[in-house]
Structures are given as structure tokens and as C-alpha cells.
Amino acid sequence: MTLLTLLIFLSLPPFLLFLSFNNNRKTRFSFPLPSGPKPWPLLGNITDLRSNELWLLVTNWSKRYGDIVYLHLFGQGLVFLNSPPAVIELMERRSAIYSDRAPLVMATDLCGAGHMVAFTRYGEQSRRQRRLMARGLAQPRIPQYHPLIITSTRPLLRALLASSGGDFIPAIRRYAGGLNLNVVYGLQPTRDDDPVLLKVEGATDLLANQITAGGGLWAVDVIPFLKNLPAWFPGASFQRKAAVWKEIIVDSVNFPFSLFKASMNAGTAPPSFCSTLLQESDPATAAFALEEFDIKWTANSMYAASMDTTITFIQHFFLAMIEHPEYLKRAQAELDGVLGAGPARFPTFEDRVHLPFLDALFSETLRWGVPVPLDPDRFNPDRYLEKVDDEIARRRDPRGFVFGFGRRRCPGIHLVESSIWLLLATVIATLDIEKPRDKCGKEIEPDVKFENSVFRTATRFFVVVRPRSDVALRLIEEET
């Protein structure tokens, strides 16, 4: 906070005391709040939080305070759910009550992200957006995206080989960005400096590392009337930042959609999320303008929401493979049995039913590498090959919890599963993955840390990838 903001903040002690601190821990609706660390006057529980691996701290709180832990931050309530029963009770059975978002004035009103799915309040607009995603991403529609997924996946192999022994994250980021633009808009970036790729990547990075960094709580979120301060007012630097950031956010929404509309009007648009939905709409109806507006913002939201989650998942996949090479070898042997040794060809979606261990490896990576922390421990794909009854299998399936719950559950689960499964199958079939070695030939152990407080992205580590065989190398070179 600037000095001026702090003075304004402290000039309203009755208001802030009412919002931030209540000795008997009652809400203004007069029902008890869940237990949690005792808040300080005015500040609430700000001193109880930390900037890295917050989930470990919350796990300790759950042992002391129970399945539901409550904190207070400058007038904002913060609730942690620490068990499946607590999550299911509130997010599933009471989803009509607990599906809303806390208002974030900086991100929505000032930076122009208010129409993104991640920021919309629960109401008519969010329901319209959910219906669009349910239509465009329903399981029966996913096969129409398979060719787009394939064309985005295979070129990644050469990029990984080029980055072998170094930082592989840029290659993964380009893959994820290209895949999303392809599936969402039918756009295929052909180079790293493609303008549409740079625009959407820049906006996504801005949202993650500037606007919502550290939880996204700005002074104007706590004291909303600060949004009325003019940009020239001392202490209103957030207004000047927001004006610049808003242009970037809005441009990242409009630019790819305008390219898509141009291809749609020219009759050259390939099947995509946007084309599927617009082809089912009637431009002659009064509701068309609103539906097109919703499609435009929902499409952009899909891109923003999937970038970091995809990168985090793949990052954990590589980490699991260099820590457990025995599982990599088992998956490669299974793939060779289906594809032919070498492999003789790339895997396809039709091969999946013949690859049970690869499916188990996928499920375990999904559980172990989930971007939102669930304190995973041992990496063991064999757990999914055990003979268990239907109830245990259902509870064990990571798809039941890693994609969220209730009315905020990720609607892109089927698309995510298809794209990530093919990525794992393609990489495992064609590449060997190892730890790098020092000058003496000794393996260099990955130094992995989780420096984000709420998102389980690891610090960067290096891996060595190489073609499994000359046959695999020829496949890669022919494809790219």
C-alpha cells in the first residue's frame, strides 16, 4: 500500500473493525464462524500466512482446528476445506450457496477481466458461460478436436530435443499456447513470435504474476470506493497500472476472436470451440449479440485457465519420470507391444484401450501432479491396477477431485484428458527421459521447491531427453 492508501485505511477504524475483527467470532448474520487462528485487530490473520507452500501450513491448522478453517484478511473471509466430506458438503450439496466469487475490484472493474469465467460472480452470466462450455466441450464433441490435438502435440518432440539438458518450460509453454489457440479458435501459430501467441501469453502472464499475484488482494479490493480516485491523485498509482493492463487484457480477448471471425466469414475456419458454438447460433435472433459476446470471453477464459495448469502437470510428469525410471520403461514396453518396437508409428487415441499401464500412469500423474495442492506423497501408478470394488475405485479416481467441485468444476475435463493423455503417450513412445549429469558423469538431482503460496508450480529443473532409437528419430523428423 502507498502511504496515502494506508492513511485512508486507518481513517476508518469503526468500519474496518466491524469487517476485520470480532471477538466473539460471529458474522453479521449471527451464526458462528469456523475455528481458526486468532486474528489481530484491523490486520486480521495477515501475519499467519506465508508466501510459499501455504498448503503445508493449512494442513497443520486442520489438525488443530478441524476440517474447516477460517481466516480474516482486511475484511475478507478466507476458508480452507481440508477433507472430502467438507468439500462435498459445501461445494456439491450446498453449491447454490457457495458457488460465488469474492469481488476483486482491481481485476474486474479496473483491469477489465470481469467477463472472464474465473472472475464472473455466480449469476446469469456465469450460467450462460457454463452452458456454452458444456456444449462446446461435451464428451461426444471431443473427437472432432483430435486432429487439432495431434497437430499440436507431435511438433513438441523436436522442441524438447532442442532444449535437452536445459530449461524445457518454454517448449512446454509454446505447446500449451499453440494447442489452446488451435482448439479454441482454430488458429495455428507457426513461430514463437506469432503476434496472437504473444498477445494472449502476455495477458495470461499479466493476470497470473501482476494482477492476481499473491492472491490478488489490492487495497481497492478491501476499500472499493478507492476505485473512484482519479489517476492523477497521489497514491492512485494502481489506477494508472490498471489503465495500461486493461488495454492488454481486452486486446488479448478481441484480437484472436477477430482472426477467428475473419476465417469464419471466409469459410476457411477449421472445427474449433468457437466455430462449433457460432454455427449453432442464429445471427437473426435478438440474443445473438449477447451470445457472441459470451463466446468471445469464454474462449479467452479457456486459454487463460489452461496454460499454467497444463505446464504444471507436464512439469510434474517429467519429474516423476526421472525419479521413477522403472515406470517409464514399463510404459515404453507396453507401447512397443501395441505400436511396434522403436516405435514403428505414433500412438493414436484408438490405441488407448490397449494401454492399461499407460492409463494408470496418466491417472497417477494427474493425482500426484495436481496444480492445486492436495499434499500428494508417493508416486505409485500400480494403485490403479489393483482389483477393488466400484466404490473404492470411484473414490480413488483423481478425476473426482483434481478438476474442482460443484458448479465451479472445470468443464474442460474431457478435452484436458484427451490432450494430456496423447502428450504422455507420444513422449513416452519416442523419447528417453533422464537426469542430467555433471562433468564426472554423476547424476544431478533436481532441486525442486514450491515457491508459490497457492499454486503447486515447482522451481525449474533440468532433464535430458533423447530419441529412444533411430526409428523414433526418423518419426520425429518426418513429422516436423
Q: Widest CA span of the chain, in angstroms?
A: 74
Residues 13 and 4: their CA atoms lie apart, in Å, by 15
Residue type, 41: P
The residue among 460, 467, 465, 424 whose CA lies nearest residue 167 is 460
- 410 appears as a binding residue in the annotation: yes
Q: CA 90, 91, 96: angle at the middle one, nearest 5?
A: 90
Residues 328 and 358: their CA atoms lie apart, in Å, by 9
DSSP E strands: which ranges in 369-453?
Answer: 431-434
Residues 419 and 181: their CA atoms lie apart, in Å, by 13
Q: How many CB atoms lie within 10 A of CB 403?
A: 19
Cβ atoms of 193 and 311 within 8 Å: the answer is no
Query: Grid coordinates standing for 243?
Result: 489503465
For 44, list phi and psi in degrees, rounded to 5: 70, -135
Instruction: Count, in order, helices (H) and strands (E) of the chain.
Output: 20, 4
The residue among 48, 55, 337, 74 whose CA lies nearest residue 220 is 74
Report DSSP state, residue 322: H
Cβ atoms of 467 and 473 within 8 Å: the answer is yes
Q: CA 144, 333, 170: angle at the middle one, nearest 5?
A: 55
Instruction: Return the residue matching grid coordinates 458457488.
Output: 99
- DSSP assignment string, 208-254: IIIISGGG---HHHHSGGGGGS-TTSTT-HHHHHHHHHHHHHHHHHH
Query: Grid coordinates standing for 351?
Result: 490405441
The rounded Cα 18 to chain-centroid distance in angstroms is 35
Residues 59 and 375: their CA atoms lie apart, in Å, by 8
Angle between helices 146-153 and 413-430 (to 10 degrees): 40
Residues 355 and 343: their CA atoms lie apart, in Å, by 14
Residues 307 and 180: their CA atoms lie apart, in Å, by 8
Residue type, 198: L
For 409, list phi and psi in degrees, rounded to 5: -65, 140
Residue type, 82: N
Q: Give the residue ranges of the annotated binding site for heme.
A: 410
Q: Give the residue ranges of the annotated binding site.
A: 410
